């Protein structure tokens, strides 16, 4: 009977890890639905980006208040979870604060003391985040796309953080043995008097309750990530590594278009030639109609989106009242990708046409409102590129459906006929000088 707690702990831990692995497998499968693209060049620069932007939070501090608060939460959450290693060992083997028995008392006290300070700072930072979001009501958190689940999700994570940090401090404050050490209890020593009137048995129950709730809460949080915008905690690192290294404003050429142009420029090429016997002719689609027409990097971007709204708050189209919101583009892409993934799961690994596509989520009005200024790409704290999705959807509208706005069609016709976007032939362009 003495091993029941250990067996229960291992069962809960195993279930949590299994469910997390299952979700990660689905995540990777969904991302791989995108078209292949090579993002393995210039690895030193990519490692530098990841270290600077994802690990070092280089772009977060451009907005000092939210940036510094985020760094506190980020560093605190990462370091405090080192304590989880001790909890796991204690849970499996039935020990109690195993590291206090292995490490020198001063070293253990130093570590736990730092964890307590960080836990307190995280708690304060999260409360400020909640006030900014729900009391001050910062505008970018109250856009149309942030209603319903996105709003609830943002608050849910804050509540999770508050509860986990509180449980950690209460666990330490009610641990009689730990308080008796009088080292490392930097914050919990001020909480301990709240429980001074209780017997040791009651303190033990509270400590054990906080211990169990803390580890179970962490496992719930771990598996909640897949359904939350906070998946960026994990994906920010690969996303910044595989980010586009080309200069902002340098657009990529559609491979299918490039192929056609190269064939047209090759005097020896026969555009009417039949494909070689045994060779399968690939049916190419210009641009993107659905998520499977996007690159796997675009889909990784969609899952990494933090929904912070910095892109939308910098978007000149959105600021002038246009319907476009780069954040919504990423959220809609992720929602459509999730629906496609569920379709595959429901049909034994095969996608059955559901009569929908990405344009059911992102309207043509949004697509054509974009000025392609790259402000959204520049300001994103984790190097997400909404513009590439918008441009691919534009390509589909223009090249597959001939559905460009009249002004754009006129411009392209002028370029074709006159070699310039203006409705004047080359001989007449300088007549205004003589007028």
Same domain, 84 and 206: yes
Neighbouring C-alpha atoms within 13 Å toward the C-beta of 413: 9
274 within domain boundaries = no
* Digit-coded pLDDT (tens) for 168-204: 999 999 999 899 998 899 999 999 999 988 998 999 9
pLDDT at 251 over 90: no
Same domain, 83 and 138: yes
Confidence band (pLDDT; 50, 70, 90) for 430?
confident
Q: Which of 241, 272, 304 is the last residue of a domain?
A: 241
Q: Which of 208, 241, 274 is the last residue of a domain?
A: 241
Dihedral angle at the C-alpha atoms of 95, 98, 100, 102, nearest 10 degrees?
130
Looking at the structure of the chain, the number of domains it has is: 2
Same domain, 148 and 11: yes
pLDDT number for residue 75: 87
Same domain, 297 and 385: yes
pLDDT number for residue 277: 59
Residue with tokens 């017997």: 199
89 within domain boundaries = yes
Among 384, 362, 37, residue whose Cα is nearest residue 232: 384
Count of C-beta atoms within a 10 Å radius of residue 347: 10
Confidence band (pLDDT; 50, 70, 90) for 272?
low
Q: What is the CATH number of the domain that holds 355?
A: 1.10.1060
Same domain, 209 and 259: no
Q: Which residues contact 258 (CB under 8 A, 6 or more apart)?
A: none
Same domain, 296 and 217: no
pLDDT number for residue 405: 86
Same domain, 203 and 351: no
347 within domain boundaries = yes
Among 281, 296, 256, 270, residue whose Cα is nearest residue 395: 256
Domain that holds residue 298: 255-264+285-423
User: If DSSP states are collapsed to H, E and C, what string results for 44-71?
Assistant: HHHHHHHHHHHHCCCCHHHCHHHHHHHH
User: Mean per-residue pLDDT for 409-429?
Assistant: 81
Confidence band (pLDDT; 50, 70, 90) for 276?
low
pLDDT number for residue 361: 95
Q: Which of 241, 274, 302 is the last residue of a domain?
A: 241
Same domain, 402 and 338: yes
57 within domain boundaries = no
246 within domain boundaries = no
Tell me the torsion sign for CA atoms 31, 36, 40, 42. negative
pLDDT number for residue 43: 93
Same domain, 312 and 200: no
Report how far Cα 385 is from the mean position of its chain's Cα atoms: 12
The secondary structure of residue 295, as a DSSP letter, is B
Same domain, 260 and 206: no
173 within domain boundaries = yes
The secondary structure of residue 274, as a DSSP letter, is P
Q: What is the mean pLDDT of the chain?
A: 90
Quote the CA–CA distance of 283 and 289 in Å, as a whole number.
Answer: 14
Quote the CA–CA distance of 419 and 210 in Å, as a whole number.
Answer: 73
44-48, 60-64, 294-298, 389-393: least confident range:
60-64
pLDDT number for residue 283: 56
Give, to the nearest 10 degrees, the angle between helix 82-93 and helix 4-31: 130
23 within domain boundaries = yes
Paired strand residues for 295: 35
Quote the CA–CA distance of 32 and 26 in Å, as a whole number.
Answer: 10
Q: Which residues contact 207 (CB under 8 A, 6 or more apart)?
A: 170, 171, 174, 175, 176
Same domain, 126 and 219: yes
Residue with tokens 């070699």: 419
* Digit-coded pLDDT (tens) for 106-132: 999 999 999 999 999 999 999 999 999
Same domain, 86 and 224: yes
49 within domain boundaries = no
pLDDT number for residue 402: 84
Quote the CA–CA distance of 322 and 329 in Å, as a whole number.
Answer: 14
């Amino acid at each position: 009977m003495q091993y029941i707690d250990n067996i229960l702990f291992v069962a809960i831990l195993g279930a949590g890890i299994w469910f997390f692995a299952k979700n990660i497998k689905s995540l990777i499968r969904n991302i791989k639905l995108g078209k292949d693209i090579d993002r393995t060049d210039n690895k030193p620069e990519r490692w530098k980006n990841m270290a600077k932007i994802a690990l070092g939070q280089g772009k977060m501090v451009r907005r000092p208040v939210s940036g510094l608060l985020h760094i506190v939460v980020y560093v605190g959450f990462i370091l405090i979870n080192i304590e989880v290693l001790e909890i796991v060992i204690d849970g499996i083997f039935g020990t109690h604060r195993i590291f206090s028995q292995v490490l020198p008392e001063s070293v253990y006290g130093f570590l736990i003391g730092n964890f307590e300070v960080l836990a307190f700072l995280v708690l304060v930072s999260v409360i400020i985040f909640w006030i900014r979001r729900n009391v001050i009501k910062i505008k970018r958190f109250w856009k149309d796309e942030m209603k319903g689940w996105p709003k609830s999700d943002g608050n849910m994570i804050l509540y999770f953080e508050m509860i986990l940090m509180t449980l950690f401090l209460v666990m330490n404050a009610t641990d009689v043995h730990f308080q008796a050490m009088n080292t490392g209890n930097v914050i919990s020593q001020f909480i301990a008097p709240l429980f001074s009137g209780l017997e040791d048995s009651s303190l033990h129950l509270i400590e054990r309750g906080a211990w169990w709730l803390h580890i179970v809460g962490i496992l719930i949080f771990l598996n909640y990530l897949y359904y939350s915008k906070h998946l960026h905690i994990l994906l920010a690192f690969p996303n910044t590594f595989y980010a586009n290294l080309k200069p902002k404003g340098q657009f990529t050429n559609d491979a299918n278009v490039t192929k056609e142009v190269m064939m047209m420029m090759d005097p020896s090429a026969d555009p009417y030639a039949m494909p070689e016997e045994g060779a399968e002719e690939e049916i190419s689609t210009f641009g993107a109609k659905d998520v499977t027409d996007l690159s796997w990097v675009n889909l990784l971007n969609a899952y990494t989106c933090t929904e912070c709204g910095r892109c939308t708050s910098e978007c000149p189209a959105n600021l002038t009242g246009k319907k476009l919101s780069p954040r919504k583009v990423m959220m809609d892409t992720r929602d459509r990708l999730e629906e496609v993934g569920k379709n595959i799961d429901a049909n034994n690994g095969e996608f059955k046409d559901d009569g929908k596509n990405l344009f059911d989520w992102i309207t043509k009005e949004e697509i054509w409102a974009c000025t392609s200024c790259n402000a959204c790409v520049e300001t994103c704290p984790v190097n997400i590129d909404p513009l590439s999705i918008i441009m691919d959807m534009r390509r589909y509208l223009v090249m597959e459906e001939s559905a460009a706005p009249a002004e754009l069609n006129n411009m392209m016709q002028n370029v074709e006929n006159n070699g310039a976007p203006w409705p004047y032939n080359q001989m007449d362009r300088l007549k205004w000088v003589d007028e």
